[in-house]
Amino acid sequence: MTRFAIEARGLSKQYRGVRALDGLDLDVPTGAVCGFLGPNGAGKTTTMKIIMGLVRPTAGHVFVLGHEVQRAGPSARARIGYLPQDPVFPAHHTIRGLVSYSARFYPGCPRGRALRRRVDGLIERVGLDDKARRHVAALSGGERQRLGVAQALIADPDLVILDEPSAGLDPAGRRAMLELIASLSGDTTVFYSTHILDDVERVSDSVVMINRGAVVAQGPLTSILEATGQDYVVGLRGANDGLRATIEAQPWVETVTVRARGALEEWRIRVSDRSAADRQLVSMLTENGRHAIAEYHLADRRLEDAYLDLVGSGNDG
Amino acid sequence: MTADTHPARVALAGTRGAWRGEVGRWLGWRGLIHLALWLAVIGWILSVTVTTKHMPFGGLGFESLMNMLAVFPPLAGIVLTAAAVCGGYHDGTTAWVLSKPVPRPGYLLSVVSGIWLGLSVTAIVVPAAVAYVWLPRVEPYRFVTPEAPPLGRFVLALAILSMVLLFFVSLTAFLSVVIRRRSVAALLAALALLMLRVPVAYPGWYDALPARLIRTDLEPGEWSVLTAFIHGDSFDALTAVWGALGLIAVFALFTSWVFRRLEL
């Protein structure tokens, strides 16, 4: 088994003067549930289409489960399940018919009764069992999304690639989708794109962030959160002449923001080195006895904070 | 699942899956509708041609049949192929199929062969079989003998018409993959059909095209190549058959080459 289910090196894609991908390097660990984040137009769907062989890169290589996509052709997709963005399926099939039909493309997929059992199991798993005979053309967007997941899983793939799987789902559907993704963890590598950061925090163990066609951060979720800085929240009483400048001058301090909160001043100190901050910050704050610390704690670092730091706010690719 | 990833077996399974999907459609409502449609259309036109006493060419049963089978199935094939290839490209269903382990040439082959086989059965073989039984009983055709033509020659003529259908389906597939606009591709293919039916000039090189098999610019009293053949004449359009087969191969190669590079 390869260490990484997906490896991309120097991936670039140009569309008539528009650089959709710009030297993207990507590593998705085998067995991980990896969230793929980025603003609109960052290159997420383009990356996924290149991985699936639907689009050819202008430069670079991508390996999926040990196969180089450009060379291996259909073999590279034999162990992959894929849900495209805004999925469209042949309209003449029923839900059950489409999932069964999807199985026929894969060698080694069960046939006959075993296939029927698997199809029924998947349809039930995605919550469409009461609509199994409905035609695809009559499905809502959310139902098509769920059908898309079912057809992606029919061949029991080693890698599942989902492009915006929660799009169009109501809250209950979204929760069910997240549970499904979480249930795949371990046996199957899941690589999915989303705009919903809460979802990534809930089910992902690794994250890739992309902006303007290049990866800006990737790795285990905890590492991403730590690497992008920690915020100490301090409530101070007393004059702070020069204290702010002293703290800002420290090499392990990134930013200091101060706002009034009643009788206190609330300081939010972003640090890049937590151990240095733990050793020095309190003593600096209370030096000379001019200040009293009414509050001192480490702020919960959210993925949203890290995302905005790395990608920027309103910074559409 | 430990999937079989041997390249040849993967490609074969994917192509087979795509092919079964495309051909399978003709075993359902689509096939029934086409069967009913072509039986009705061809049957109605034949009955008008053969039974109307005021028609100047009344009794041209098998000639009418060959003429219709040279036009209607290719036209239908053009429309269906343009819709399948261009429509699938634009609405995303082609991309969905090709996200499976299906080789691109295999997918195209399944689409083209599905339409070709489906129309060959519903628009050529079945209506022709009905006419073969019915025409000699209605009115003797005005040719050598008032008998049904030899079955072997009749079947061979149908095979040639099916090949003509394949010619236009593969031409349309090529145009559709290159142009990717349904109406334009269909229009150009239909124009080719028209030009081959009514060649303005008739230089020698036209003998190498299917024109020789489907042309309508006949002299009075002259039968088409296929009608003459089924009634006992020798078949003198072999060059046209080889030429058509060669062009089908050329279209297939070019279409496959372009389709491999298409971004979805």
Q: What is the CATH number of the domain that holds A233?
A: 3.30.70.920
Instruction: Mark yes or no for CB contact A86/B92 under 8 Å.
Output: yes
| Inside any domain, residue B185 | yes
Total domains present in chain A:
2
What is the pLDDT at residue A23?
A: 92
What is the pLDDT at residue B143?
A: 47
Within 10 angstroms of residue B179's Cβ, the number of other Cβ atoms is 17
Which single residue is written with the structure tokens 């790795």? Answer: A219
Burial grade of B35 (CB within 10 A; 0-12, 13-18, 19 or more): middle
Burial pattern A134-154, b for ≥16 Cβ within 10 A else e, equals: eebeebeebbbbbbbbbbbbb
Domain end (from A170, A199, A225) = A225
pLDDT(A316) > 60: no
Of the ranges A167-181, A250-264, B181-195, the best mean pLDDT one: B181-195
Burial grade of A258 (CB within 10 A; 0-12, 13-18, 19 or more): middle
| Inside any domain, residue A306 | no
A269 SS3 class = strand
Candidate from A56, A84, A109 with C-beta closest to B92: A84
| Inside any domain, residue A181 | yes
Candidate from A49, A92, A107 with C-beta closest to B10: A107
Bridge partners of A15?
Answer: A18
| Inside any domain, residue A311 | no
Same domain, A165 and A83: yes
Q: A158 and chain B: CB distance < 8 Å anywhere?
A: yes
Q: Are A159 and A66 in contact (CB under 8 A)?
A: no
| Inside any domain, residue B132 | yes
| Inside any domain, residue A317 | no
| Inside any domain, residue B220 | yes
Same domain, A141 and A267: no
Domain end (from A208, A225, A242) = A225
Same domain, A200 and A248: no
What are the tens digits of pLDDT across the range B172-209? Answer: 999 999 999 999 999 999 999 988 887 666 566 677 78
pLDDT(B102) > 60: yes
Q: What's A140's DSSP letter? A: -
Give the DSSP letter string of A100-138.
Answer: HHHHTTSTT---HHHHHHHHHHHHHHTT-GGGTTSBGGG
What is the pLDDT at residue B52?
A: 66
- Residue B219 or residue B142, greater confidence: B219
Q: What is the mean pLDDT of chain A?
A: 88
Q: Give the mean pLDDT of B160-169.
A: 96
Instruction: Mark yes or no for CB contact A105/B1 under 8 Å.
Output: no
Residue A155: domain span: 4-225
What are the tens digits of pLDDT across the range A195-216? Answer: 888 888 888 989 999 999 999 9
CA–CA dist A206, A102 (Å, integer): 29
Same domain, A207 and A64: yes
Instruction: Mark yes or no for CB contact A88/B96 under 8 Å.
Output: yes
| Inside any domain, residue B2 | no
Chain B residues within an 8 Å CB radius of A73: 7, 11, 103
Same domain, A194 and A243: no
Q: Give the mean pLDDT of B137-145.
A: 53
Q: Are A165 and A191 in contact (CB under 8 A)?
A: no
User: B41 to chain A, minimum CA–CA distance in Å?
Assistant: 25
Instruction: Mark yes or no for CB contact B96/A84 under 8 Å.
Output: yes
What are the tens digits of pLDDT across the range B19-75? Answer: 999 998 899 889 999 999 999 999 888 888 776 644 444 446 788 889 899 999 999
What is the pLDDT at residue B159?
A: 96
Residue type, A248: E
Same domain, A237 and A111: no
pLDDT(B107) > 50: yes
State which residue of chain A sits closest to B5, comparing Cα positions. A75
Element (H, E) at B250: helix B238-260
Q: What is the largest CA-CA distance in chain A?
A: 81
What are the tens digits of pLDDT across the range B49-59? Answer: 776 644 444 44
pTM given for the model: 0.84
Which single residue is written with the structure tokens 């969230």? Answer: A35
| Inside any domain, residue B1 | no
pLDDT(A317) > 50: no
What is the pLDDT at residue B141?
A: 46
Same domain, A93 and A190: yes
pLDDT(B110) > 90: yes
Same domain, A281 and A165: no
| Inside any domain, residue A316 | no
How many CA atoms are closer than 13 Å to the CA of A102, on its beta-carbon side?
A: 33
Domain end (from A177, A199, A225) = A225
CA–CA dist B87, B92 (Å, integer): 8
User: Per mean pLDDT, which range of A286-290, B99-103, B162-166, B243-247 is the poorest?
Assistant: A286-290
Burial pattern A99-110, b for ≥16 Cβ within 10 A else e, equals: bbbbbbbbbebb
Residue B99: domain span: 7-260
What are the tens digits of pLDDT across the range B218-228? Answer: 666 677 888 88
CA–CA dist B86, B82 (Å, integer): 6
What is the pLDDT at residue B200?
A: 64
What are the tens digits of pLDDT across the range A76-120? Answer: 899 999 999 888 998 889 999 999 999 999 988 888 899 999 999
CA–CA dist B23, B118 (Å, integer): 7
Same domain, A206 and A270: no
Element (H, E) at B157: helix B151-179
Three-state SS across B101-127? CCCHHHHHHHHHHHHHHHHHHHHHHHH
CA–CA dist A303, A220 (Å, integer): 12
Total domains present in chain B:
1
Candidate from B4, B96, B261 with C-beta closest to A108: B4
Q: What is the CATH number of the domain that holds A53?
A: 3.40.50.300
Same domain, A173 and A254: no
Instruction: Mark yes or no for CB contact B93/A53 under 8 Å.
Output: no
